Chains A and B, each alone.
Chain A
């Protein structure tokens, strides 16, 4: 009777609940969250009429971010770049939109920016690439600079930095500083960018301590503070004494490690202020000068044929990627040692991925005497020997 009828519907409820769980858990990744759209700041008078060169003749520059501007991470770094553009071009209005999901919503935001006079647009998240390609097709007079993309179009170039160079140096620092020789690395999902950084970190640590291992932990999300705190505790309980990360928001991890007296390596932005005792160093993007140059190039009508018309990759020697300031925990001789390695990378005498490099199974992936190209590195699909953790094969 009543009981049997509620039994079958209980199954339905459970199924519905699970669907919701999966949905909401998925929402925890910035980009798929159905959160506040973030308002464009200000309006501008209608743009001047389009000229042939993409990016020129506009009255505004648009920036869209997948998260919030002060996340001590990826978005904060890009936001700093947008501030530099604002300062360098007083005549151009800077339009910003935060929390733009990686969906058709991004197209709508970009269209609105173009209506408001923008001829140059920076879609700064990896997942903004497809929406940007669509909008770029409709507006050949607008120049697009996409951050980290692997695809380009006539009026869409991508830019990024070889962040694995400073990550390698951070690994050297961690290898020198760790007492246990066990390093922890908190990441989101196994994509090439992530694997590249984990590998660079381990290779750096191993270059100074052959026994150093890096335990990698995937959280499944770019920003889930609860799982981040779990991961910090779990890695420290497992014997690690240095925590590094590749997440969009890094504050929880840095603070949690500091509270437990562990050492931390940062990523994306300088968060040394969050960990006065345990901060070692970190890897940062230095977008301001690059963004200003990119805007100038496009606004002057020189987008086509410039270095930015395609896949631009700024390196340590270009100062597009940087090693963060060292924390007070790092002694002078370690600083000097790391600075020497840094100079070798800048000079081109040291390549972090110079062979021989073996993967976890001991198979040689990069032969002795070989140094892979940036394109080859950006397709990385394995973890190097010394990394503890597994990726789907």
Chain B
């Protein structure tokens, strides 16, 4: 039963994890993007549509990332370009994404695809307990796991990473070094949109093999919340996403035990857990808030 829950954690946490990694890059550069939900939906639909047309889920995944990026371009232009309020813009883009994908997705609801399927890794997947949890997933899931150390390395061990983080902390320093902080911010937002789109595509072409309007059902917003929970650290965002996935799986497993717990309480459980984790972390880790982000949260328009 524990193995089932942990397997479920990875299965249902991966889309959220990808989106949260993207949002993390964006927030590190000082831009909070509530439109992540919209980017995920755009990625889910774009990825599904391209997989229907080409029959190739890899192209679909790429297209999904591209669609997520396109929607985040809107956020980048409005927020970084015109200095619009980040929170209001993000919310507007989220609802725009929901409407847009519902409209264009109508013809894909009944389409069937041959998407990504679980590929057990030889030998490793035979290890008892751990094998099933870690080494029997779809290719996008493996990719997403490899992505986390890559993003960590990029952010904390390369010059590019320093530039991104400086954009989120002290943009005048960048300016003084002859770099354009706005450009760096915009690129970080776009990278975030791409990963959110990839996460959406994982949901549609790898996990469910379906497209249904508003199929992300709040996962993008959870991803944004997770980044704060994770104190803007990639490995903790990964942990948080799997925690959310585990709570979703646990909820379903608990129901099958026949314990007298109201299903309505269980529906809240993943969000309650996320809330609890957020509150816990807020007390201790606040000093790590990127400064530019702190200004946005404190009411400055940002940008």
| Residues on B with beta carbons closer than 8 Å to the beta carbon of A391 | 262-263
Expressed in whole angstroms, the minimum distance between the Cβ of B286 and any Cβ of chain A is 5
Q: How far is the CA of A305 from the CA of B210 in the complex (A)?
A: 45
Pick the contact of A234 from B109, B220, B249, B279 — CB < 8 Å? B249
- Is residue A48 contacting chain B, with contact meaning CB distance below 8 A? no
A70→B249 contact, CB < 8 A: no
Q: Using Cβ atoms and an 8 Å threshold, which residues of chain B touch A224? A: 215, 217
CA distance A255 to B63 in the complex (A): 23
Q: What is the 8 Å Cβ interface bit string for chain B, positions 260-298, against chain A (1 contact, 0 not)? A: 111110110001001100110010001101010011011
Q: Does B207 contact A (CB under 8 A)?
A: yes
Measured CB to CB, the closest approach of chain B to A181, in angstroms, equals: 14
What class of interface size applies to chain A in its complex with B?
Answer: 35 or more
Q: Which residue of B lies closest to A391 (CB)?
A: B263
A36 at the binding interface (Cβ < 8 Å): yes
| B residues in contact with A10, CB < 8 Å | 228, 282, 286, 289, 297
Contact A34 B253, beta carbon cutoff 8 Å: no
B156 close to chain A: CB less than 8 A: no
* A314 interfacial by beta-carbon distance below 8 Å: no
Is B8 an interface position by the 8 A CB rule? yes
Q: Find the A residue at minimum CB distance from B208.
A: A225
Question: Does A390 lie at the interface of the complex (its beta carbon under 8 Å from any beta carbon of B)?
Answer: yes
Q: In the complex, which residue of chain B has the Cβ closest to the Cβ of A229?
A: B208
- A388 to B7 Cα, complex, angstroms: 22
**A157-183, CB under 8 A of B: which get 1 and which 0?**
000000000000000000000000000
Name A392's contact: one of B7, B210, B262 (CB within 8 Å): B262
A52 to nearest B CB, angstroms? Answer: 40
Q: How far is the CA of A2 from the CA of B261 in the complex (A)?
A: 44
Q: How far is the CA of A119 from the CA of B175 in the complex (A)?
A: 69
B172 within 8 A of A: no
For the complex formed, measure the closest distance between the CB of B261 and the CB atoms of chain A, giving whole angstroms: 6
B212 proximal to A (CB < 8 A): yes
CB proximity of A263 to chain B, nearest CB, Å: 18
Q: Is B258's CB within 8 Å of the partner chain A?
A: yes
- Whole-angstrom CA separation of A381 from B144 in the bound complex: 44
Smallest beta-carbon distance B282→chain A, Å: 6
- Return the chain B residue nearest A271 by Cβ: B110
Is A235 positioned at the interface, with any CB of B under 8 Å from its CB? Answer: yes
Q: Does B98 contact A (CB under 8 A)?
A: yes
Contact between B203 and A390, CB atoms less than 8 A apart: no
Of the 9-residue stretches A13-21, A56-64, A141-149, A325-333, which lies at the interface with chain B?
A13-21
Q: Is the CB of B109 within 8 A of A70?
A: yes
Whether A99 sits at the interface, judged by CB under 8 Å, is yes
Task: List residues of chain B with CB within 8 A of the CB of A228.
Answer: 208
Residue of chain A at shortest CB distance from B299: A9
Whether a CB of chain B sits under 8 angstroms from the CB of A197 is no
Asked if B162 is at the interface of the complex by the 8 Å CB criterion, the answer is no
Q: A14-B279, A189-B263, A252-B210 are in contact. Are A25 and B271 (CB under 8 A)?
A: yes
> Given A2-B291, A10-B286, A216-B255, are A226 and B15 also a contact pair (CB < 8 Å)?
yes
Given contacts A6-B294, A68-B106, A235-B256, contact A223 B286 (CB under 8 A): no
A136 interfacial contact with B, CB 8 Å: no
CA distance in complex: A190, B261 (Å): 13
Q: Cβ of A281: which chain B residues have Cβ within 8 Å of it?
A: none
Q: Is the CB of B225 within 8 A of A231?
A: no
The answer to whether A233 touches B8, judged by C-beta atoms less than 8 angstroms apart, is yes
Question: B263 near A190 (CB under 8 angstroms)?
Answer: yes
Q: How far is the CA of A235 from the CA of B255 in the complex (A)?
A: 10
The secondary structure that dominates the A interface is helix
With a 10 A CB-CB cut-off, give which of A11, A223, A226, A360 has the most chain B CB atoms: A226
Contact across chains for A18 and B225 when beta carbons are under 8 A apart: yes
| Complex contacts, B248 vs chain A, CB 8 Å | 227, 230
A25 shortest CB reach to chain B, Å: 4
Contacts of A40 in B (CB 8 A): none
The residue from A30, A237, A388 contacting B4, defined by CB atoms under 8 A apart:
A237
Given contacts A6-B297, A233-B8, contact A226 B110 (CB under 8 A): no
Asked whether any CB of chain A lies closer than 8 Å to the CB of B81, the reply is no
**Which A residues lie within 8 Å of B99 (CB)?**
34-36
From 1 to 53 in chain A, residues with beta carbon under 8 angstroms from any chain B beta carbon are 2-3, 5-7, 9-14, 16-18, 20-25, 27-28, 30, 33-36
B233 at the interface (CB under 8 A from A): no
Q: How far is the CB of A214 from chain B (nearest CB, A)?
A: 10
Assess whether B256 is in contact with A21, with CB atoms less than 8 Å apart: no
CA distance A339 to B274 in the complex (A): 50
Assess the A28–B217 pair: CB atoms within 8 A: yes
B4 and A238 form a contact (CB under 8 A): yes
Q: Is A382 an interface residue (CB 8 A)?
A: no
Q: Let me know if A33 and B286 touch, CB within 8 A.
A: no
Q: Is the CB of A234 within 8 A of B256?
A: yes
Residues of B in contact with A (beta carbons under 8 Å apart): 1, 4, 7-8, 11-12, 15, 34, 37, 87, 91, 94-95, 98-99, 102-103, 106, 109-110, 112, 117, 203-204, 207-210, 212-222, 224-225, 228, 248-249, 252-253, 255-264, 266-267, 271, 274-275, 278-279, 282, 286-287, 289, 291, 294-295, 297-299
16 example contacts (A-B, Cβ-Cβ < 8 A) are as follows A2-B298, A10-B282, A20-B91, A25-B271, A28-B214, A36-B102, A36-B106, A70-B109, A72-B110, A99-B102, A217-B255, A233-B11, A234-B256, A249-B109, A390-B258, A390-B260
10 nearest CB pairs, A to B: A35-B102, A28-B217, A24-B218, A218-B263, A6-B294, A220-B267, A70-B110, A225-B208, A25-B218, A237-B4
Known: A6-B294, A388-B258, A390-B255. 12 other contacts (CB 8 A): A13-B228, A16-B87, A20-B221, A33-B213, A36-B99, A72-B110, A220-B263, A220-B264, A225-B212, A229-B12, A234-B253, A393-B260
